[in-house]
Amino acid sequence: MLSLRQTLKNFSSFSEGFPQGHLPAGFDASKGIRSLFPASVVPVSLSLLSSWVTSSSGTTATSIITGNFTIEADGTGNWFFSVTLKVVGGDSFLEAAAGFVFGFSDDKLGRGFVGQPSHIGSTLDTGAAQPQPLEVTGSDPWIRNHWSQIISNNPEAFFWVGDSTGFASLPNFADAATDNGFAGFSMLQGATVILDSGLT
């Protein structure tokens, strides 16, 4: 049986990517859980908290680079993105970009985050490179306002990588959304890099 007291205690604790925990600032459990949810969520029940924190993971690749991804989000609107990039082909790797968009949209835009490597350059030639991690956290009211649609969408998220070699330009970051059927791309708010090994 889900214990409200224990569940809220767990949500208020620090966890990887969520240093502020999973509850809004100033949340007062003595006043109930109604304030945790947007007005559009009716009825509010304890069982809704079982999906308060969600996570999706996956792998995607180009002919040059592979990305292993994780995205986590919670009903407060907090989000956490992690990717590890590894060069798997080519001999003049210069740049890459990696990101995600949520699978749900209320306005035809794909909402997510894309990060770009800045100085890993030719040190990542095939076979010579260590995997390069990036972790980013943030908070966006759009996630809070559309929480129930995000967690019920299949898939919850699409993952994307792009690369360029030689003098070629990186693909447009909007491709993270448009490659998956969205009309455009909207970057999530509040992005803060918490682990950067050559990626910004």
Q: pLDDT tens digits, residue range 50-88?
A: 888 999 999 999 988 889 999 999 999 999 999 988 877
Cβ contact 52:103 at 8 Å: no
- Asked whether the predicted pLDDT for residue 120 surpasses 50, the reply is no
**Among residues 102, 85, 100, which one has the least CA distance to residue 149?**
102
pLDDT band at 124; cut points 50, 70, 90 = very low
- Asked whether the predicted pLDDT for residue 8 surpasses 70, the reply is yes
- Beta partners for residue 110, in sequence order: 185
Q: What beta strand segments (E) does the chain contain?
A: 53-61, 65-74, 78-87, 93-102, 109-115, 132-139, 157-165, 184-187, 192-196
Report pLDDT for 44: 79
- Domains annotated on the chain, with CATH: 53-196 (2.60.40)
- Asked whether the predicted pLDDT for residue 107 surpasses 90, the reply is yes
Percentage, residues of the chain above pLDDT 90: 42
Percentages helix, strand, coil for the chain, rounded to the nearest 5?
20, 40, 40
Distance of CA 178 to the CA centre of its chain: 17
Q: pLDDT tens digits, residue range 163-189?
A: 887 778 889 999 999 999 999 999 999
pLDDT band at 131; cut points 50, 70, 90 = low
b/e sequence 63-77, b meaning 16+ C-beta within 10 Å: ebbbbbbbbbbbbbb
